[in-house]
Amino acid sequence: MKKITLIEPGQFEFSETSAPDAPRPGEALVRVHRMGICGTDIHAFAGKQPFFSYPRILGHELGVEVLATGEGVNHIFPGDKCSVEPYLNCGHCIACRRGKPNCCAAMQVLGVHVDGGMREQLLVPASKLHSSDKLDYDQLALVEPLAIGCHAVDRAVLSGGEFILVIGAGPIGLATIQFALEAGAEVIVLDVNKGRLDFCREKLRVAHTIDASAEKPLEALLSLTHGDLPTAVFDATGNPKSMAAAFDYVAPGGRLVFVGLFQGDVSFHDPLFHKKEMTLLASRNARPQDFSRIIELIGTNRIDTRPWITHRAPLEKTIEEFPFWTKPDSGVIKAMIEI
């Protein structure tokens, strides 16, 4: 079985090993066909990913085929195509008991805390597989990043017609945009990358974009919102300066959702926070129902994932291509590994 391991920051190793054992009760053996590259993988490569240790097999955006199932598994079968919910929660902590398995106190995420999918086969809990007879492996691999945006938007409880701001038009920002549009919000996107802003306008039909490298964001936001500012702001950058600045962009009585994260502290001016009676929210991972919803939305053509994938490579060329994918000028929206 072929696999790639991130030995330490900046250093991958290609190797071959034996295939996994037969699945135990409640498990499934899956063949990985597609793996999407996300910010988590890039940050791990750079040595800047929280909750991470080396060596590690990366990969949690997966489109897989079921090869075998263990005893007691009756909702999926060999040959099924599935998306993987990569959040391995304990099931008994206070978060799990209260219906929030996405922030389990003992969370283990594939490709972060435990080895992920940058390999041909792996064993996963069968309960974490979401099957589809309509979606292809590319689409199934994109369900997980879309779920991150879906959950973030749900955290803010958007209303139709309200002005909302998404800061950062990378894949997680794009997923957030997708579900803010689905909720009927008036979406504004802020970024410093002209190519990504063009993508938002041309592919996602976003009406309002702000190029922070050429405009003053606060002035542009006041103009677009007729002096009100956005009532919900989502920061998907994982950049501390951006996250601190985001407090200035929230309307009085509004919500700020941190979707991206970084390894450090965020500070804010408390009088401004209280003056606006602002609600500050974190968004972590996604919930099982988000996966089912997204599979339905893609299957009924409510969401088109085709424009997202801009770069591809087979597993054998991943080590060669990966450093290029991390560069801002690469033009990458979503890179996909074919395994």
Mapped onto helix, strand or coil, the DSSP state of residue 131 is: strand
The tens digit of pLDDT for each residue in 123-172 reads 999 999 999 999 999 999 999 999 999 999 999 999 999 999 999 999 99
- Residues 314, 315, 316, 320, CA torsion sign: positive
Q: Tokens in use for 230? A: 């956005």
Mapped onto helix, strand or coil, the DSSP state of residue 289 is: helix
The domains found in the chain, sorted by start residue, are 2-142+305-338 (3.90.180.10), 149-282 (3.40.50.720)
Cβ atoms 265, 291 nearer than 8 A: no
CB atoms within 10 A of CB 192: 16
The torsion angles phi and psi of 32, rounded to 5 degrees, stand at: -80, 125
Mapped onto helix, strand or coil, the DSSP state of residue 34 is: strand
Q: Tokens in use for 168? A: 């950062």
Distance CA 300, CA 228 (A): 36
| DSSP string for 140-199 | HHTHHHHHHHHHHHHHHT--TT-EEEEE--SHHHHHHHHHHHHTT-EEEEEES-HHHHHH
Could you list the pLDDT tens digit for every one of the 339 residues in the chain? 999 999 999 999 999 999 999 999 999 999 999 999 998 899 899 988 777 889 999 999 999 999 999 999 999 999 999 999 999 999 999 999 999 999 999 999 999 999 999 999 999 999 999 999 999 999 999 999 999 999 999 999 999 999 999 999 999 999 999 999 999 999 999 999 999 999 999 999 999 999 999 999 999 999 999 999 999 999 999 999 999 999 999 999 999 999 998 888 999 999 999 999 999 999 999 999 999 999 999 999 999 999 999 999 999 999 999 999 998 888 899 999 999
Beta bridge partners of 16: 2
* pLDDT score of 194: 92
pTM over 0.85: yes
* pLDDT score of 302: 93
Cβ atoms 291, 147 nearer than 8 A: yes
Which residues, 6+ apart, have CB-to-CB distance to 271 below 8 Å?
Answer: none
